Structure 1
């Protein structure tokens, strides 16, 4: 089962990680005296012993521990300590076994009288032996086994109840619609959508289930280990480990409290500063607050920039109060991050600056029809880094803001949207020969414009003669429109109607080329401008003898 796997894994982890420190740890030592060694019996420090005349302090401590273990394990020997006072020493005997010998030098080293030291050792040894035997008695072991069994049953009940409660809660939340969960946002910045909020709540519940299960298992093991003398130190130290961890955490929190107050005050100031900026932005968007020269489309970008710089300033203020700010690791990471940003963000910073300039220069807005270099289409996205344009062919082209700023921008939407009385004029050029009257051409071109869908009748289309070339004349047709999003389609329709109208009135759309052979040819000046008696000149032919005479001379 699943619980068995993580139960075994947790137990093994606990044993491998904590066992070396638990088994090797001794109780809190008494104040250290010079040249003394503690006598440890059954994991407890009884007293400290100085070196003797023959044996070292460590050898004496080991010998006393060995004798105490022999006496404690022999149930036939009653725990009755007898003091045998001699001239220069006092022996403490249990049954026939002398366990400790106290000399005058020992008393002098420890700074007490020999009789007082003997009485202290006698009480300590009697209690240690009694505890040793009582903790290993059958009654104690049976009672510990009963408590362990009850704890095991309690653990399983706790685990099943936790699975039941969390399981029902998770299933109930999973069956709920995503619309039942709130959208988490901060000053119009969406932190979590309803879908993400639902996923976050479910994840927190599952992690809480896991943490509570591991915590219950931890304290269950500590309680069970305390019931048996062989593992009692393990259980005690598990509890001590939690206690010390909580104490260190609490002490660290208390010591960090002044810095935490500074961070909290800074956060509160930033919060209300952003709230005030949001209030001003909302009033300006609603038209309740106006600043001369401040355009409506500047409101959101300005608020976001001010919010960004406010948060950045707050972050700079808070950083010195963060834990570990002065540590070499924190400083090294900060230098590394700064180096990476400085080396890799040159182009990014350029694009951001260009994006800000484009916002406040108001070169174009979302939905405008623009032409940037060779790209023409509708502006779909305008951010600090890039501008996206959707072409009439439904292609989405992404342009870096630095390139956009350094290019000429033609905005076809600004005039028609903000100045309806001054609409956008489209123009196209047709080259026709001098032999066609310009009045006839003007009439054909303007008629073609008025037939075109999307061309306005007011103001009326008009024609400019932009160049008198060697062979043709350049006629530039100008027509107004209020639908810049249809420019490619209007141009296509306009060119079709120009062909139709020219064909209807007999105008041949060609750019003629002439060779100057005037003899016998009619002039290209329109007939309305020629004299009434004008006749095409005849051909002049030179005598053939003149041609042959020239050849004979050569």
Structure 2
């Protein structure tokens, strides 16, 4: 029992679905038909309204003319008033005629006409129906009758005529009606019915006569002869390109040394002869294929253009090639003013950058001195100004770039900006640190510095990193952000100002008199090379430990770049001095006893 109920519900659902589908299809068809005939309905209402208005105006004009004739004195005020009313009615009719034509022009833009063609000739277009015949049926009927006349063996152009009726004109061939021109057709085309009928008749006669000549046996034989000539010429050209291209490629493959030479820039070989030969052979292969394609393309185009039936395809074939070329050419021509603007902007900013570069070099060399501005700031300041000017140049040029206002271009710009912002955070921090270090002036190239646990001579200082070279010729690359976050010792700046102090530490037993130790240490310091002889060395006693005393000798030098050698020589002289004084250099043994 439940299965039967389920089956009945399923059949009911299918019937309802089919009914709804048919209803939707019917509504769509009605809507489509209503859209197609809406222009005609509006035109019909407009024509009916204007005819009624013209009829009323004609009665008014006739009545006023009778009143004018009844006036006995033509120069009286009543006569003048009647004439003014007549002129006002005629002016009103003229304005209504203009408004009517504007309304028809508006309807013509949204309406779709049905063309009547004979082969490639469009003879006329029908917009309005007539009685029970739609505009499409009228166009189809006229086409069939015109085609029958074209194919008739008893066709005579003199058999055409135009027969007027009350509301329309018929274009006749003998006793057969080819086309009926109604008031709606005339109004739509902005002509009278008689003028429109004559225009249609002339188009029909001219097209039939021309196409009968074009389709004669003489013309057909001439066309096939032209096709044969085109095919033969195309085949000869293809054979010539195929064999000639292959022969030229074989000749190049067997070229003698020296025919194709290497491309060199001074002593650097940019392109070898073998590489150039391969590129040339490949280019010849590609050109051979391109020229053969061009020959086939032109041959097909000429063949299609020979026959009237295929001439539209020839135009399409040419449009496929010429339209992109024309669009590109027009785009280039229209872009030329923007190109000049971009060139002017780039030249302007380029010369500004050149000016700043010139002044920065002058400041860096010392020829131009600015108050409170150090020469080592010149290069960095120039780089900052250069980056800012380039950014401004890009901002000014961007609106003139092709496609800059498109959504795709903007999306790519945003995506590139996001990538740069996320991927260059470390580089940006190092760059900012490099600028800060430059203006802080903690060191310069050639200085001996200590950064953290690394000591060496500054070999290179860039915006991103600083490279130092140790005493063992080790090159250490340190990011500028690390230098800014750590303490830095500059030995060179200390040595150039007051002198760098070189120290050495020794330990002595309490049995050795401290005055003797001071004397030996000072004599050793004075004998050391590259030390400042004008400043006396001095000794510190740093600690008094359980078994020994710690002494520190300090000596000045003005040559900090030799500090390692000075320190070594100082230790040597200390060792020699204590040996000459009969004092042993050794640490007393420290014994620890554990219970």
Shorter-chain TM band: 0.5 to 0.7
- Report the 3-state secondary structure (helix = DSSP H, G, I; strand = E; otherwise coil) of the residue aligned with 1:425: strand
Check 1:342–1:326 CA distance in 2 against 1; reply closer, same or farther (3 A cut): same
Equivalent in 522, 533, 540 of residue 465 of structure 1: 540
Equivalent in 292, 302, 315 of residue 381 of structure 2: 302
Equivalent in 436, 448, 455 of residue 357 of structure 1: 436
Residue 315 of structure 1 corresponds to 394
Aligned-residue Cα RMSD (Å) equals 5.0
Residue 19 of structure 1 corresponds to none
Is the CA contact (8 Å cut-off) linking 1:378 and 1:390 kept in structure 2?
yes
CA drift of 1:356 comes to 0.8
Q: Is 1:140 matched up with 2:215?
A: no
Equivalent in 14, 30, 36 of residue 113 of structure 2: 36
- Report the 3-state secondary structure (helix = DSSP H, G, I; strand = E; otherwise coil) of the residue aligned with 1:398: strand
Equivalent in 210, 222, 226 of residue 301 of structure 2: 226
Q: Is 1:279 matched up with 2:354?
A: no
Equivalent in 117, 121, 124 of residue 207 of structure 2: 124
The number of residues matched between the two structures is 456
CA drift of 1:62 comes to 6.0
- Report the 3-state secondary structure (helix = DSSP H, G, I; strand = E; otherwise coil) of the residue aligned with 1:506: coil
Q: Is 1:179 matched up with 2:266?
A: yes
Is the CA contact (8 Å cut-off) linking 2:146 and 2:178 kept in structure 1?
no
Alignment map for 1:7-406 (pairs within 5 Å): 36-39=113-116, 45-49=122-126, 57-58=135-136, 83-85=159-161, 89-90=170-171, 101-105=178-182, 108=186, 111=191, 112-131=195-214, 134=219, 137-149=223-235, 152=238, 175-179=262-266, 220-229=295-304, 233=312, 236-253=315-332, 256=335, 259-285=338-364, 287-342=366-421, 345-406=424-485
Distance 1:482 1:209 in 2: 72
TM-score by length of 1: 0.64
CA drift of 1:175 comes to 1.0
- Report the 3-state secondary structure (helix = DSSP H, G, I; strand = E; otherwise coil) of the residue aligned with 2:380: helix
- Report the 3-state secondary structure (helix = DSSP H, G, I; strand = E; otherwise coil) of the residue aligned with 2:266: helix
CA drift of 1:261 comes to 4.5
Is the CA contact (8 Å cut-off) linking 1:466 and 1:475 kept in structure 2?
yes
- The Cα offsets for residues 470-512 of structure 1, whole Å up to 9 and x where unpaired, read as 4433322234456645544554554455445434433233455
Distance 1:458 1:195 in 2: 60
- Report the 3-state secondary structure (helix = DSSP H, G, I; strand = E; otherwise coil) of the residue aligned with 2:370: coil
Check 1:410–1:271 CA distance in 2 against 1; reply closer, same or farther (3 A cut): same
CA drift of 1:47 comes to 4.1
Gaps of 5+ in 2: 1-107, 164-168
Higher helix share: 2
TM-score by length of 2: 0.61
- Report the 3-state secondary structure (helix = DSSP H, G, I; strand = E; otherwise coil) of the residue aligned with 1:405: helix
CA drift of 1:369 comes to 1.9
Check 1:299–1:437 CA distance in 2 against 1; reply closer, same or farther (3 A cut): same
Equivalent in 476, 485, 504 of residue 428 of structure 1: 504
Check 1:103–1:274 CA distance in 2 against 1; reply closer, same or farther (3 A cut): same
CA drift of 1:310 comes to 1.1
Distance 1:470 1:491 in 2: 25
Equivalent in 555, 558, 581 of residue 505 of structure 1: 581
CA drift of 1:372 comes to 0.6
Is the CA contact (8 Å cut-off) linking 2:234 and 2:296 kept in structure 1?
no
CA drift of 1:54 comes to 6.9
CA drift of 1:313 comes to 1.7
Is the CA contact (8 Å cut-off) linking 1:427 and 1:478 kept in structure 2?
yes
Gaps of 5+ in 1: 1-30, 182-193, 516-554
CA drift of 1:448 comes to 4.7
Check 1:468–1:36 CA distance in 2 against 1; reply closer, same or farther (3 A cut): closer
Check 1:84–1:326 CA distance in 2 against 1; reply closer, same or farther (3 A cut): closer
- Report the 3-state secondary structure (helix = DSSP H, G, I; strand = E; otherwise coil) of the residue aligned with 1:365: coil
> More displaced, 51-60 or 380-389?
51-60
Is the CA contact (8 Å cut-off) linking 1:107 and 1:117 kept in structure 2?
no
- Report the 3-state secondary structure (helix = DSSP H, G, I; strand = E; otherwise coil) of the residue aligned with 1:227: helix
Distance 1:385 1:117 in 2: 82
Distance 2:524 2:578 in 1: 9
Distance 2:367 2:478 in 1: 36
Distance 1:155 1:82 in 2: 56
CA drift of 1:322 comes to 3.4
- Report the 3-state secondary structure (helix = DSSP H, G, I; strand = E; otherwise coil) of the residue aligned with 1:384: coil
Is the CA contact (8 Å cut-off) linking 2:304 and 2:314 kept in structure 1?
no
